[in-house]
Amino acid sequence: MKKKHVLIIGAGVIGTCVARELSRFEEISIDVVEKEADVGWGTTKANSGIVHGGYTSTPGTLRAKFEVLGNRAMERWCTELDVPFKRIGAYVLACKEKDVEILHQLKQQGKKNNVKGLKIISGDEARSIEPILNKNIIAALDAPMVGIVSPYLLAISAFENARHNGVNFHFNTKVISVEMLNDHINVITTDGIFLADLVINCAGIYSGKIANLFGDTYIKIKIYKGEYFLGDKELCKGITKVNFPIPTPVSKGILVAPTIEGTVILGPTSENIDTPSTATTYEGLEKIKESIKKIYPDIDLSLVITEFTGLRAKDISGDFVIGWSPKDNRVFHLAGIQSPGLTGAPAIAEYVGNVFKNRFSVHTKKQFDPIRKAPRRLSEMTPEETEQLWEKDPAYGRVICRCEMVSEAEIREAIRRGATTLDGIKFRTRAGMGRCQGGFCTPWIMKILAEELKKPITEITKKSIDSEIVVGNTKEKTYYEESE
């Protein structure tokens, strides 16, 4: 059969996982367009990084279905893609007798969703594992299947594996309009026209706007803003599980959890906004402080190193929107993928793969390779391993980011794997994510970026076009000069 050309709009964790899954098929060619300069820079880069357990989603919904399936699939995906993943478990904490009844309801809801291992324990049992929990906590729902993962590393690894298997990615490419023709679809972007047989909408908070281009006005996205604190690794001592308050109708609540990198995340708030904004607010951050003190009254917030905001896409239905457009069966929507979207990403991708396989009778490539190997990290090596690498490549001996122990060699490899900006380096290597937040290493990373990309340092950006760091040279000689 003639190859089907698929265009995926959006390279967040959903778009990259779908691209990776579809790249296994012989009869499909794939392009991905992304308006940002890198993968995972929307909702993906700024969320809690929790692999949820399946007990808070309403039974019978797509959210419940893919939360449970995604939780089960995550470990396999992370093994294949060489992404760190841990099942550390979670507590949902009750301070009042009326809250204990909610714990029982969540346990029953989890049972209906085919979640196993849930149990209710006493406050003392919870404190035997987490000694610094508030003494007012009288009970907890223990959910051992909950895990933690890096959302941006999952997206980056899926991108690398999809690209390895033949997918083409186009960054700084924003969709402007579409033309629905009899034999194909024209997708007009800021980087030209893409011809597609099929289009998959994975545009995150913009998935409603993309759906509207195809005449699908039934998808209506509300944007929710969530503010966070990020604490350094010292704050992680004594915090071993994901700790939730009693959930509300609109949110799982402000949590405290270790991250897969060893820091601590606190948040998020939940605020419906009309216009996308990632600004943090005094009110939002105070709300986090107030809520966190109910879980950990003695937590040392002086160890917070930064704060940030993430945006989530919620469809007015309250559920994920997954399926073919009722107006044109060449368009497939993955819209309103709010929490637990990260958890569901592998299962959603596999579902899309099965839909395409069944509809188009496609076959798996003999040469499909599901394995991606992560780069070596200096911070995780033994002294003996470090010494061996130094001898092979002296760049491993030059530490650029002292807070996170990131070497020059790691930064250069990140660029060769696709990073083109400071944030691209940060999310791949953690350079600039430590206590000083790039205060020491930024100029050195810029210099390396300029050398590797063969650009003047004035063109090196933080995250995208129009985010240059420097505006000119104070001396005649630039950091980068073309080698002869």
Q: How far, in Å, CA of 46 to CA of 135, rounded?
A: 31
Beta carbons of 342 and 149 less than 8 angstroms apart: yes
Nearest to 359 by CA among 19, 24, 27: 27
DSSP secondary structure, 234-266, as one string: GGGTT--SEEE----SS-S--EEEE-TTS-EEE
Q: What pLDDT score was predicted for residue 455?
A: 94
Instruction: Provide the residue ranges of all domains of the chain, joining segments of one domain with +.
Output: 4-44+151-220+317-360, 86-148+222-311, 378-459
Q: How far, in Å, CA of 438 to CA of 426, rounded?
A: 9
Give the Cβ contact number of residue 175 at 10 Å.
23
Q: What pLDDT score was predicted for residue 483?
A: 47
Distance of CA 20 to CAs 125, 282, 483, Å? 42, 40, 37
CATH homologous superfamily of 86-148+222-311: D-Amino Acid Oxidase, subunit A, domain 2 (3.30.9.10)
Print burial letters for 393-416: b (CB count within 10 Å at least 16), e (below 16): eebbeebbbebbbbbbbbbbbbbe
- What tokens appear for 28 in the block? 């499909």
Distance of CA 300 to CAs 104, 228, 433, Å? 32, 16, 19
Torsions phi, psi for 313 (to 5 deg):
-100, 120
What is residue 87's three-state secondary structure?
Answer: coil
Peptide bond preceding 340 in cis form (omega within 30 of 0): yes
Distance of CA 419 to the CA centre of its chain: 16
Give the Cβ contact number of residue 339 at 10 Å.
24
Over residues 210-238, the pLDDT tens digits come to 999 999 999 999 999 999 999 999 988 88
Q: What pLDDT score was predicted for residue 481?
A: 52
Q: Is position 52 annotated as part of the catalytic site?
A: yes
Which CATH entry fits the domain spanning 378-459: 3.20.20.70, 1.10.3720.10, 1.10.10.1100, 3.40.50.2000? 1.10.10.1100
DSSP state of 109: H
Written as one letter, the residue type at 424 is G
Q: How far, in Å, CA of 450 to CA of 456, rounded?
A: 6
Q: Give just the sign of the alpha carbon dihedral 308, 313, 317, 318.
A: negative
What is residue 422's three-state secondary structure?
Answer: helix
Return left, alpha or beta for 357; rule: phi > 0 is left, psi -120 to 50 is alpha, else beta.
Answer: alpha
Q: How far, in Å, CA of 107 to CA of 117, rounded?
A: 10
How many CA atoms lie less than 13 Å away from 224 in the CB half-sphere? 18
Nearest to 428 by CA among 440, 443, 445: 445
Over residues 92-149, the pLDDT tens digits come to 999 999 999 999 999 999 999 999 999 999 999 999 999 999 999 999 999 999 999 9
Q: How far, in Å, CA of 352 to CA of 18, rounded?
A: 7
Q: Give just the sign of the alpha carbon dihedral 84, 89, 91, 92.
A: positive
Q: What pLDDT score was predicted for residue 181?
A: 98
Nearest to 127 by CA among 31, 238, 20: 238
Q: What pLDDT score was predicted for residue 466?
A: 86
What is the DSSP pairing of strand 175-180 with strand 271-273? unpaired
How open is the CA angle 144-149-150, to the nearest 5 degrees?
Answer: 160
Which CATH entry fits the domain spanning 4-44+151-220+317-360: 3.50.50.60, 3.40.50.20, 3.40.190.10, 2.30.30.40? 3.50.50.60
- Those residues whose C-beta lies under 8 Å from the C-beta of residue 297, and which sit 6 or more positions away, are 134
- β-sheet bridge partners, residue 50: 148
Q: How far, in Å, CA of 310 to CA of 268, rounded?
A: 8
DSSP E strand stretches across 63-218: 85-86, 90-94, 119-122, 139-143, 147-149, 168-170, 175-180, 185-189, 192-196, 198-201
Beta carbons of 339 and 7 less than 8 angstroms apart: no
Q: Name the stretches of the chain with pLDDT < 70.
A: 1, 476-484
pTM of the model: 0.96
Catalytic residue among 5, 52, 164, 363: 52
**Gap between the terminal Cα atoms of the chain:** 50
